A and B are shown apart, each in its own frame.
Chain A
């Protein structure tokens, strides 16, 4: 464990908590893409199956349980409790175009052809594009509430910090996983446009307006 990875995990946790609090306090999931949240739940489910039979550390186990519980909790709030406030008209990204290629790629490019490894690889590929429905929805609605942009900033920062973690581990000549690194770079690049707008607009108190 290193400071970059710890900050990355905490940024990830912060993002999820910001989202849960936003939905819970405002009792509304307006502006939030249920499809992206659905993809994140798939990512965590496919990746954390080893939860039940490999123990890496207490931290690892606790965080996996928290991520699984909060992602399903978010789905519950969006699709059941506050379903009336879900903006399905603007949440229209075709997620089958993300899931199917991720499955195909995981079957073609992986470290080991075992069920667990293929599922892990699938979750890595899917996570790299899971935010697209949310970014698409923000561009369709043309704007995002500031709390939503804080959520996106924390979520985008998590994988950017993981890239610093991989650089740090490379200097320590620790074992690295090329699949996770390439996917993590793609994932972070998808946020660049948003990062620019967040840093130049939201932090100056302006509303986040994405060019439609």
Chain B
């Protein structure tokens, strides 16, 4: 299960 994608970049 891929880690929850947290897109911290703009």
Contact = CB atoms under 8 A, between A and B. Distances in A.
Are the chains A and B members of one assembly? yes
Interface of A: 5, 9, 12, 47, 50, 54, 56, 60, 63-64, 67, 111-112, 117, 120, 162, 165, 175, 177, 180
B1 to A, nearest CB: 9
Nearest to A175: B3
B9 A180 contact: yes
Nearest to A44: B10
B5 to A, nearest CB: 5
Majority secondary structure, A binding face:
helix
A77 B9 CA distance: 28
Contact of A162 (B3, B7, B8, B9): B9
B4 to A, nearest CB: 8
Contacts of B5: 111-112, 117, 120, 177
A54 B6 contact: yes
A64 to B, nearest CB: 7
Nearest to B3: A175
A60 B6 contact: no
A177 B7 contact: yes
The 10 A-B residue pairs with the shortest CB-CB distance in the complex, in nearest-first order: A111-B5, A56-B8, A63-B10, A9-B10, A112-B2, A117-B5, A112-B5, A111-B2, A120-B7, A5-B9
Q: Which of B2, B3, B9 has the most CB of A within 10 A?
A: B9
Contacts of A112: 2, 5
Nearest to A57: B8
Given A54-B6, A56-B8, A120-B5, 10 more contacts: A5-B9, A60-B10, A67-B10, A111-B2, A111-B5, A112-B2, A120-B7, A162-B9, A175-B3, A177-B5
Chain A CB count within 10 A is highest, among B2, B6, B8, for: B8
A32 B10 CA distance: 24
A192 B8 CA distance: 27
A117 B7 CA distance: 9
Contacts of B6: 54, 56
A165 B6 CA distance: 17
B8 A60 contact: yes
